[in-house]
């Protein structure tokens, strides 16, 4: 009896520690992921890039980072299923911490792009491994609270990135991100693999891409999970990052400061994450939660793209509401985690959000293709409507996963 009580206490302590580690890990992950978008203009200007090329060179670098995220998603996902979730937590944070320190030392654009690519590979493992650990450790009817905390705390990393870049030179801002990651390594020494994973037989196929893509129903399920998140990175990667250019197209008298808007945006995202967690627990439905947030993001985006003569204050408010609308990241990644068995869960949970991030590359291509025909504002509006429609359709194709027992395998 005492042994059972002791094990229960250890289990509860492990749950709390996992949530803390996953939350702080995502905080550092978001800081390091978003820092380039904040220091894009300042860093490229310091590297001697002409003002008329900053947008195109910035797109190239962020696309390199995104390509690293896609590659890293598969790398860390397979490692997480084959060798354990903790291997991902340690390996990924080492790579992206060193990558950010090196980002502060660059002297030319090609090197900058290469280092952001490597950093992207490292960043790819953090959220998927954290959500997988939380999902497999917490009671099935309370998972939403755990992932809500991870998402809410994590998104505040953007606020930290903005203030770091405001207080320090852009190079120092990169060093701060790398230093936080190295410090976080020590906190991770006290956590354990979920019993659900550690008890899985070694004879079961784990992290197999052949298993993932060898069944039509499973492939469609995987694609629908990806489609759930595509509006979020479009809003951040284009509508927010390129807000100075969009503001100019709207006739802003004073140039829009993207970094300041991103602070309000991610405060909104944090509120959206918290709302999503509570709302899914209240309605016992992750699907309803996603639909509500999609519609908030769509309405806020339409207003943004029709605000002629936009001011910084107006942009900040709209960025805030767009943030609430795309504050479904933890919810959508949790849905992906809940859709697949233990032997593929890390692979799916790690690859899905990074493929969503990777979708920014073709979305940017389509956006640039549309601009000469429809203009910057109409092109952004068309894409937002199309992407939202795709996400809403994907919701209808997936089964409700709230309170689903995750102790099952894909065969």
Annotate 268-302 with DSSP letters as a single string: HHHHHHHHHHHHHHHHT-HHHHHHHHHHHHHHHHH
Its sign, for the CA torsion 363, 368, 373, 378, is: positive
Q: How far apart are CA 209 and CA 342, in angstroms?
A: 14
Structure tokens at 225: 């999970």
**Structure-token pair, residue 184:** 């976080």
Query: Would you give the DSSP letter of residue 405?
Result: -
> What one-character DSSP code corresponds to residue 201?
-
The CATH class that applies to domain 2-190+208-397 reads mainly alpha
Where does residue 81 rank: exposed (0-12), middle (13-18), buried (19+ CB within 10 A)? buried
DSSP letters for 135-175: HHHS-TTSHHHHHHHHHHHHHTHHHHHHHHHHHS-HHHHHH
Q: What pLDDT shows up at residue 9?
A: 43
Q: Give ∠ CA 229-73-353 in degrees, rounded to 5.
A: 10
What local confidence, expressed as pLDDT, does residue 201 receive? Answer: 60
Q: In angstroms, rounded to a whole number, what is the distance separating the alpha carbons of residues 17 and 284?
A: 26
Could you report the per-residue pLDDT of 184-207, keeping only the tens digit for each? 888 777 677 777 777 766 667 777
Query: pLDDT per residue over 262-290, tens digit each?
Result: 788 888 988 998 999 889 989 999 999 99
Whether residue 410 contacts residue 243, with contact meaning beta carbons closer than 8 Å, is answered with no
State residue 262's pLDDT score. 79
Tokens (6 digits) for 197: 């994973």
Q: In the prediction, which pLDDT does 316 show?
A: 95
CA pair distance 275, 371, nearest whole angstrom: 35
In this prediction, residue 391 carries a pLDDT of: 97
In 3D, which of 281, 132, 142 has the Cα closest to residue 196? 132
DSSP annotation of 52: G
User: Cα–Cα distances in Å, from 45 out to 49, 108, 109, 240, 356?
Assistant: 5, 11, 11, 19, 29
| Residues 6+ positions from 178 with CB-CB distance below 8 Å | 32, 97, 98, 99, 100, 101, 104
Q: What is the pLDDT of residue 101?
A: 95
| 8: pLDDT strictly greater than 60 | no
**Is the Cβ–Cβ distance between 86 and 197 less than 8 Å?**
no
Over the stretch 213-240, which tens digit does the pLDDT of each residue have?
988 999 999 999 999 999 998 998 899 8
Q: Which of 350, 390, 348, 398 is nearest to 366 (CA)?
A: 390
Domain ranges in the chain are 2-190+208-397
Provide the token pair at 149.
């905390």
* pLDDT given at position 66: 86
What average pLDDT does this structure show over 397-406?
86
What span, in angstroms and rounded, lies between the C-alpha atoms of 255 and 372?
A: 22
Residue 402 has pLDDT above 60, yes or no: yes
- Distance (Å, rounded) from C-alpha 33 to C-alpha 353? 13
Helix, coil or strand: residue 266: helix
Q: Is 171 exposed, middle or buried (0-12, 13-18, 19+ CB in 10 A)?
A: middle
Percent of the chain with pLDDT over 90: 45
The 8-class DSSP code of residue 200 comes to: S
Choice among 99-103, 108-112, 261-265, 303-307 with the minimum mean pLDDT: 261-265
Question: Which helix or strand (DSSP H or E) is residue 233 part of?
Answer: helix 230-234
Could you tell me the pLDDT band of residue 2, with boundaries at 50, 70 and 90?
Answer: very low
Q: What pLDDT is attached to residue 47?
A: 92
Q: Write down the pLDDT at residue 11.
A: 67
Write out pLDDT tens, residues 321-350: 999 999 998 899 889 989 998 888 888 999
- Chain mean pLDDT for the chain: 87
Contact 362, 104 (CB under 8 A): no
Q: Give yes or no for a contact between 366 and 275, defined as CB atoms under 8 angstroms apart.
A: no
- The pTM for the full model equals 0.84
């Amino acid at each position: 009896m005492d042994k059972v009580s002791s094990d229960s206490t250890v289990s509860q302590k492990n749950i709390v520690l996992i949530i803390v580690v996953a939350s702080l890990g995502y905080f550092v992950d978001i800081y390091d992921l978003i820092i380039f978008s904040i220091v894009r203009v300042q860093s490229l200007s310091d590297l001697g890039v002409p003002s008329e090329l900053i947008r195109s060179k910035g797109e190239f670098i962020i696309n390199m980072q995104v390509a690293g995220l896609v590659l890293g998603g598969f790398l860390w996902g397979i490692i997480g299923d084959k060798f354990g979730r903790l291997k991902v937590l340690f390996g990924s944070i080492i790579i992206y911490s060193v990558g950010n320190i090196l980002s502060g030392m660059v002297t030319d654009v090609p090197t900058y792009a290469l280092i952001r690519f490597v950093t992207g590979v490292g960043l790819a493992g953090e959220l998927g491994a954290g959500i997988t650990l939380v999902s497999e450790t917490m009671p099935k009817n309370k998972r939403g609270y755990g992932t809500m905390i991870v998402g809410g705390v994590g998104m505040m990393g953007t606020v930290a990135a903005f203030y770091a870049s405001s207080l320090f030179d852009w190079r120092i801002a990169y060093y701060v991100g790398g230093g936080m990651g190295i410090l976080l390594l020590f906190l991770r020494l006290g956590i354990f693999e979920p019993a659900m994973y550690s008890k899985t037989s070694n004879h079961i196929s784990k992290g197999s891409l052949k298993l993932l893509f060898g069944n039509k129903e499973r492939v469609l399920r995987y694609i629908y999970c990806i489609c759930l998140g595509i509006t979020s990175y479009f809003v951040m990667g284009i509508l927010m990052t390129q807000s100075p250019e969009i503001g100019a197209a709207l006739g802003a008298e004073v140039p829009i400061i993207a970094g300041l808007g991103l602070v309000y945006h991610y405060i909104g995202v944090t509120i959206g994450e918290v709302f999503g967690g509570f709302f899914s627990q209240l309605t016992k439905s992750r699907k309803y939660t996603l639909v509500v947030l999609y519609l908030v993001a769509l309405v806020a985006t339409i207003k943004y793209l029709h605000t002629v003569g936009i001011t910084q204050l107006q942009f900040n408010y709209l960025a805030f509401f767009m943030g609430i609308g795309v504050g479904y990241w933890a919810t959508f990644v949790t849905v992906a985690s809940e859709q697949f068995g233990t032997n593929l869960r890390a692979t799916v949970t790690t690859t899905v959000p990074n493929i969503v991030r990777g979708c920014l590359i073709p979305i940017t291509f389509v956006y640039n293709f549309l601009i000469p025909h429809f203009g910057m504002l109409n092109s952004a509006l068309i894409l937002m409507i199309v992407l939202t429609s795709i996400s809403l359709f994907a919701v209808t194709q997936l089964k409700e996963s709230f309170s689903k027992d995750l102790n099952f395998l894909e065969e």
